[in-house]
Amino acid sequence: MKSRKVFVAGNWKMYKNIEQAEEFAEEFKKIYKPVKGVKVAICAPFLQLQTLKEAFEDTDIAVGAQNMHFEKEGAYTGEVSGEMLTELGIDYVIIGHSERRQYNAETDETVNLKVKKALQLGLRPIMCVGESLETREAGKAKTWVRKQVKAGLKGLTMKDMALVTVAYEPIWAIGTGKTATSKQAQDMCKYIRSCIAKEFTEAVADKVLIQYGGSVKPANAAELLSMPDIDGALVGGASLVPGDFMKIIAR
């Protein structure tokens, strides 16, 4: 039986304005009941972060960003630094989401720089890895994911790893309605843990939280989270609906 906590994080992507974020927070607080051994976070667009921090101030619900730059400041038009996030008291930051890699030229190298910067500032990174359908069908899924894990965690210490969450998000299951079977998800999450063990130690790897992300819904959350190496979920669309998100947390 695994001793690790469960970590359920919502990823709002580019949804909800400030008024809608306020409405969500008020509705969610009415139905939210802490579950023993379960950590909860909502990762929202930058403009909604302060609203959510204030709304959840007296709760155990954490707030995360969906990206950050690895530099403190500079001529990086349109970017937000980790220092700006810490000024707001942000807890988590998603790094290397497949949509960032696909649409915003994220690389394993920039992911690594961002993970290091987040840790330096006391932010807890949620580092995403995952393969495309083409890569999986070519039988190269594990090779691809191993490369992402190794490169993303390069130069980290064993102490650093206590603050890192790894999210396995098969690209073919994000926003498509398709979900990896619990067996497929468990198989890859177990493999990711073995990759972490090779880079660090089995003792370190055994404590790292590994989430699954990819069309997680109330209907499939319980089965996915029952798997021995799946320690939580990075939830997309279902995290936009208070009732659905709570059902996943409570599963």
The whole-number pLDDT of residue 161 equals: 98
Specify the pTM.
0.96
Count how many domains the chain has.
Answer: 1
**Which residues make Cβ contacts (< 8 Å) with residue 112, sequence separation at least 6?**
151, 152, 153, 154, 155
Comparing 14-18, 88-92, 140-144, 177-181, the range with the smallest average pLDDT is 177-181
Beta partners for residue 92, in sequence order: 64, 124
Residue in 69, 97, 99, 106 annotated catalytic: 97
Mean pLDDT in residue range 26-37: 97
Distance CA 24, CA 8 (A): 17
Domain for residue 83, yes or no?
yes
137 is catalytic: no
Q: Where are the beta strands (DSSP E) in 160-208?
A: 165-168
Domain for residue 15, yes or no?
yes
Domain for residue 1, yes or no?
no
The whole-number pLDDT of residue 1 equals: 54
Residue 166's domain comprises 6-250
Domain for residue 179, yes or no?
yes
27 is catalytic: no
Mean pLDDT in residue range 232-244: 97
Distance CA 141, CA 136 (A): 5
| Whether the Cβ atoms of residue 107 and residue 126 lie closer than 8 Å to each other | no
Give the model's confidence band at 186: pLDDT under 50 very low, under 70 low, under 90 confident, else very high: very high
| Whether the Cβ atoms of residue 6 and residue 225 lie closer than 8 Å to each other | yes
Residue in 99, 106, 131, 169 annotated catalytic: 169
The whole-number pLDDT of residue 148 equals: 98
Tell me the pLDDT tens digit for each residue of 86-128. Answer: 999 999 999 999 999 999 999 999 999 999 999 999 999 999 9
CATH of residue 114: 3.20.20.70
